[in-house]
Amino acid sequence: MKTTQQLKECFTWTGGKFSATFDVDLAKDLVKILGQAVQPTTQWTVAMAKEALSFNTEQRDPEAVKAADCTKPIIAVQIWNERTTRHEMLIIDGWHRIEKFAGEGIGTLPCWVLPPMCAESLIIDGALPKESTKEKEE
């Protein structure tokens, strides 16, 4: 298992009922491996970006936001939300792009969405809430 010091890139989420650090490098590898199954499955609107930013109030480097490439897809993983009883997307890569996109408000922002079964494998520290990786019931 990698430590956060060994990773080139990781993302830590603390909020709601869980705290976890995700391996962004592995997420990028999974996107490459899964290919067409996750190829930009969602096009984010400005409203979606602004809503996401309301949950992640972390201060980002203004120069990094300005340099962000909004043509490059963000990466999300689906996790189960017990409160809403549905899968929701947790953004693990692309917060600078989201902030730039929300400010510019032009077009849509592509997003690769990894399935719930990938969530647990991306965690290097912490844990997801109970049943967060369960598949959608048909």
pLDDT at 106: 80
| Torsion region of 137: left, alpha or beta (phi above 0 gives left; psi -120 to 50 gives alpha) | beta
User: Among candidates 77, 73, 88, which has minimal Cα distance to 39?
Assistant: 73
The residue behind tokens 């989201």 is 98
- Find the helix or strand (DSSP H, E) in which 91 lies: strand 86-93
The CA angle 47-129-74, to the nearest 5 degrees, is 35
| Between 74 and 126, the higher pLDDT residue | 74
The fold for domain 24-127 equals 3.90.1530
Residue ranges of domains in the chain: 24-127
Q: How many CB atoms lie within 10 A of CB 125?
A: 15
* pLDDT above 60: residue 1: no
Per-residue pLDDT tens digits for 67-80? 999 999 999 888 87
Span 15-52, pLDDT tens digits: 666 677 888 899 999 888 887 666 666 788 888 888 88
Determine if the pTM surpasses 0.85. Answer: no
